[in-house]
Amino acid sequence: MTQQGPAGDADQAEIARPTARLMTNWINLAVLMILMGLIFGYHGLLVLPIFMLVTILAGSWWNSHALRDVTYRRFIAHKRAFPGETVDVEVQVENGKVLPVPWMRVDDEWPLDVPPTDSRALGPSYKRDAGNLTHVFALRWYERIRRHYTLQASKRGVYGLGPTRLRSGDMFGLFQSEREIEKQDFLIVYPRVHSLPDLGLPSKEPFGDTRARHRLFEDPSRTMGARDLQPGDSFRHIHWPATARRQQLQARVYEPTTTMSIVICLNVATFPRPWEGILPDLLERAVSVAASLAAFAAENRYPVGLVSNGAVPRSDRPIRMMPGRNPDQLTHILELLAAVTGYVTISMDRFLLRQSPALPWGATLVVVTPVVTSELLASIYRLHSAGRRIVLVSLAKDAPPVLPGIVTHHLPGDDAPEQHEPPVMPNLFAQWREVIR
């Protein structure tokens, strides 16, 4: 529940004053008629201007108090929903003073993507994706009026109900004032979550060998000591300070970790080049796949996180949530996926390379992408060569090339774009040279 109002001292600045020119003209006319009646001795002429003057002053005073202590509230039964569900909303307006409100119009801005079941409830608005819920009330002293609506959650997103504009005036219809309430109530519609078989993914071991769930991983960010270099040790693991002290090649010994976590890496680009545009249906499919994988990981007690090169509204920063076992972890991930837009902050191949150092070493990176480019494959193979565990989930129309050691799932859709150039296998020699550097 979020309360909007009441109109206290802070709201008085928001009350629009009546037109000064109109008030001045009427008062000047009344005063002129009174002077003419006194000068020429026509006392009968005084009745009308005095009545006009009293009416104007009474109307002005009434108008200045019409919206005071008037509250407007929305009560949303559930602030979160899945597509296909309905949400009950109660709208309540109350006059909290002795002075009645002869008339009041309320224009509440509601999104068209979660409309009321009664299609006639919303009127037109100057915004393309919104409509106005309009009410006209006459409120007695301390009267409260309620209206009930049912919203249809039909599309993923974060939707704001509001702002609200209140209009009222005096009982004579001479003056009018208004107040705009900027505060909004938000409704979150999660992305669709499917079972893995419905998506075309295996329900058993979709991330590869599940035995790795309890396998000991070495975390290269935490060195616990050194030992003599043995055949098969990577050149990158040489402990040079220890080698200098002992005058013999030493290899680093890393702290082990038993936790295998999952990081969903969502690519929101639906074309190989982001400036070519956005395919909304393909983006929704990618978000749904990411949400389904996160739900599967949480259900199987994997620590799960989310990173994406997309952004939430009013932000230009990529999304990053580290893996965790918090009971609300999946809820937070679904909320981020509900808000993510098709705005690409950075190409996915560069994004993966930049985010990798900050992600847990033993985590499995599940890359969900609507398009597969040569640059993305090169980045994936580079991370794999560096010891990262990668799972590629491609939604592109053409199957991606097979990368040795990388679990790949192909989920083609009819809405996938045609690729002008098929991705090619990265140059292995070049990748190894980059890894050694």
In one-letter notation, the amino acid at residue 197 is P
Can you tell me the distance from the alpha carbon of 78 to that of 244, in angstroms, rounded to the nearest whole number?
64
SS3 state at 358 = helix
31 Cβ partners below 8 Å, 6+ apart? 49, 53
Alpha carbon distances (Å) from 167 to 17, 60, 67, 309: 12, 15, 8, 44
State whether 83 and 140 are in the same domain: yes
State whether 251 and 264 are in the same domain: no
- Is the dihedral angle over the CA atoms 17, 18, 20, 26 positive or is it negative? negative
Taking a C-beta distance cutoff of 8 angstroms, is the pair 108, 142 a contact?
no
State whether 201 and 294 are in the same domain: yes
Query: Which residues partner with 320 through β-bridges?
Result: 307
Taking a C-beta distance cutoff of 8 angstroms, is the pair 60, 41 a contact?
no
State whether 11 and 156 are in the same domain: yes
* The total number of structural domains that make up the chain: 3
In this structure, of 4-13, 35-44, 141-150, 261-270, the range with the lowest mean pLDDT score is 4-13
pLDDT greater at residue 420 or residue 382: 382
In this structure, of 32-36, 52-56, 73-77, the range with the lowest mean pLDDT score is 32-36
310-329 residue pLDDT tens: 998 878 788 999 998 888 99
350-400 residue pLDDT tens: 999 999 999 988 899 999 999 999 999 999 999 999 989 999 999 998 888
State whether 351 and 287 are in the same domain: yes
Domain residues for the domain of 233 are 216-257
* Residue 415 C-alpha from the chain's centroid: 24
State whether 178 and 314 are in the same domain: no
SS3 state at 155 = coil
Residue 25's pLDDT is 72
Can you tell me the distance from the alpha carbon of 160 to that of 188, in angstroms, rounded to the nearest whole number?
9
State whether 263 and 165 are in the same domain: no
191 secondary structure, DSSP code: P
Of 154, 189, 224, which residue constitutes the final position of a domain? Answer: 189
Q: What are phi and psi of 312, to 5 degrees?
A: -90, 160
State whether 270 and 361 are in the same domain: yes
Query: Which residues partner with 150 through β-bridges?
Result: 88
Structure confidence at residue 21 as a pLDDT band (50, 70, 90): low
State whether 25 and 142 are in the same domain: yes
pTM of the model: 0.77
85-127 residue pLDDT tens: 999 999 999 999 999 999 999 999 999 999 999 888 899 888 8
Q: What is the mean pLDDT of the chain?
A: 84
- Is the dihedral angle over the CA atoms 49, 54, 59, 60 positive or is it negative? positive
Residue 408's pLDDT is 94
State whether 171 and 28 are in the same domain: yes
Can you tell me the distance from the alpha carbon of 346 to that of 404, in angstroms, rounded to the nearest whole number?
27
State whether 331 and 369 are in the same domain: yes
Q: Nearest 5°: CA angle at 303, between 297 and 304?
A: 60
We report the CATH number of the domain holding residue 423 as: 3.40.50
Residue 431's pLDDT is 45
Taking a C-beta distance cutoff of 8 angstroms, is the pair 161, 307 a contact?
no
E strand or H helix at 353: helix 348-355
We report the CATH number of the domain holding residue 40 as: 2.60.40.10
Can you tell me the distance from the alpha carbon of 31 to that of 45, in angstroms, rounded to the nearest whole number?
11
Cis peptide bond N-terminal to 163, omega within 30:
yes
Pairing mode, strands 250-257 and 262-266: unpaired
Neighbouring CB atoms inside 10 A of 74's CB total 22
276-304 residue pLDDT tens: 889 999 999 999 999 999 999 999 989 99
Q: Given phi > 0 = left and psi -120 to 50 = alpha, else beta, which region is 241?
A: alpha
Q: Nearest 5°: CA angle at 202, between 197 and 203?
A: 70
Alpha carbon distances (Å) from 377 to 130, 363, 384, 395, 424: 41, 19, 10, 14, 8
Alpha carbon distances (Å) from 390 to 189, 359, 415, 435: 30, 13, 25, 16
Residue carrying the six token digits 């859709």: 413
State whether 96 and 83 are in the same domain: yes
